[in-house]
Structure 1
Amino acid sequence: MARRKDHSPEELKAWVITSVLEFLQQQPAQALSLRQIAKMVSYSPGTLINLFGSYAHLLLAVNACTLDQISELLEKKLSDADNLNAQQQLLLFAQEYLLFAQQHTFQWRLLFEHRLDEDVPDWQQSRINQLFELIELRLLKLSPQAKPNELQQASRTVWASVHGICMLEVDNKIFASTSNHYQGVDGQVVDRQAVNGGSMIHSLIHHYLTSWKTSIDANITINQ
């Protein structure tokens, strides 16, 4: 392990962020503290405050790394799935978002549990915008005549809906039977598709985007 004097500020930032991310793979952010992080990297809490500005900004830097990971994941999946149409790509995005939430639950939760007493910095907002642009570009392919405000509203609606499903899934609050069979009114055993976060996301993307595209096309026809 390198000695203190061997770490540049950027190296120390990267080490701190990596250490926090490793912690979040096992425990929630509520179990973390500035003093605990300082102990992980063998530096004083004051050094970390000088480096990041505050504990809140330290966690914000961790969240920036999480957003980068999600963005890189979606970009990679997109490059491997360029044969899919726009709606299929959006479904893929949503499924990967759910998978990330399931595999990195505490890290994912910190994105939304963390609070700042100030506006989000530009460098963080640009990461958020980049993720929404991925969605809006697919929506634009789906309905090329959609206006910017329609794309913005639809992208936020899709994300908020998918995020809500992810939250219920990781909290085990879907409240659906795990059985693949149920008894019909005639007493016969009927097969059914299991209801879970994945199936709900599939239903959401299909029905919402179909309805949204139909609505956009109808408005264009009316205004012609």
Structure 2
Amino acid sequence: MAKRSEHTQEELKALILSAAETIVIEEGFPALKVRRIAAEIGYTVGSIYMVFINMADLIVHVNAKTLDALSAQLGQVQACGAEHSIEALAMTYLNYASDNFNRWRTVFDYAPTEKTVTPDWYQEKVTDIFSPFKAQFAELVPELSGDNSNRAARALWFAIHGICLLSLTGQDDKTRIYDIEETLVLLIRNFISGWRTNFIK
């Protein structure tokens, strides 16, 4: 461990985030405590609060790195027809959640209080996760436009997320991932089929 004086504020920020990420990955969100982070990096709690406004600010930055990683994986999905692309996005989302469960779960386990202001830059990262699903759904059902298209795409996205969350939570046997994939495909195909049927003349 380098001496405290050898770290710039940016280096200290990276050190704190790295320690926080490691705790989350290895032990999950409940283990993420500011005193624990301070002990891991050999700094005082006060030093951490010189870099981050409060614990909520630190958690937002930890979750932002998770969202960036997830967004990068979703961005690698190759277009292969809108319906197949949605399925591929769903599988990518599921695989990321399964492979990085503690990190992924922390994004949703953290519940900001009424006094907590979510930064605009963080909300943009959340939107980036949803955007590919929204774009592919709009291509599939062009007759449904504007707010209605957004609501329908969001409903599909919530359902995909819900299946992943309910299926992975408390599941120790990851061999069941195939069953989750089949459930996602069934959901997506029937959801899309239902909307297409509504527009058949």
CA pair 7-22 structure 1, distance change in 2 beyond 3 A: same
Note if contact 1:28-1:107 (Cα within 8 Å) is conserved in structure 2: yes
What residue in structure 2 maps to residue 210 of structure 1?
Answer: 193
For residue 33 of structure 1, report the CA deviation from its aligned partner.
0.8
What residue in structure 2 maps to residue 135 of structure 1?
Answer: 133
For residue 42 of structure 1, report the CA deviation from its aligned partner.
1.7
What residue in structure 2 maps to residue 86 of structure 1?
Answer: 82
Cα distance in 1, alignment partners of residues 10 and 195 from structure 2: 45
Of 140, 145, 148, which aligns to 1:147? 145
Q: Percent identity?
A: 28
Cα distance in 2, alignment partners of residues 171 and 161 from structure 1: 15
Note if contact 1:169-1:196 (Cα within 8 Å) is conserved in structure 2: no
What residue in structure 2 maps to residue 8 of structure 1?
Answer: 8
Cα distance in 1, alignment partners of residues 15 and 154 from structure 2: 33
Residues 1-224 of structure 1: matches in 2 within 5 Å? 1-76=1-76, 78=77, 81-82=78-79, 84-117=80-113, 118-172=116-170, 196-215=179-198, 217-218=199-200
CA pair 32-136 structure 1, distance change in 2 beyond 3 A: same
Cα distance in 2, alignment partners of residues 151 and 32 from structure 1: 39
Give the structure-1-normalised TM-score.
Answer: 0.79
* Unpaired segments ≥5 residues, structure 1: 179-193
What residue in structure 2 maps to residue 188 of structure 1?
Answer: none
Note if contact 2:74-2:89 (Cα within 8 Å) is conserved in structure 1: yes
The secondary structure found in structure 1 opposite 2:117 is coil
What residue in structure 2 maps to residue 181 of structure 1?
Answer: none
Question: Alignment length, in residue pairs?
Answer: 195
Supply the AA of the counterpart residue of 2:105: R
Supply the AA of the counterpart residue of 1:122: D
* Structure with greater Cα Rg: 1
The secondary structure found in structure 2 opposite 1:125 is helix
Cα distance in 2, alignment partners of residues 172 and 213 from structure 1: 36
Cα distance in 2, alignment partners of residues 19 and 214 from structure 1: 51
Cα distance in 1, alignment partners of residues 125 and 55 from structure 2: 20
CA pair 61-102 structure 1, distance change in 2 beyond 3 A: same
Cα distance in 2, alignment partners of residues 41 and 93 from structure 1: 37
Note if contact 2:24-2:31 (Cα within 8 Å) is conserved in structure 1: no
For residue 12 of structure 1, report the CA deviation from its aligned partner.
2.1
Supply the AA of the counterpart residue of 1:201: L
Structure 1 residue runs of 4+, over 6 Å off? none
Higher share in helix: 2
* Coordinate RMSD, CA, aligned: 2.0
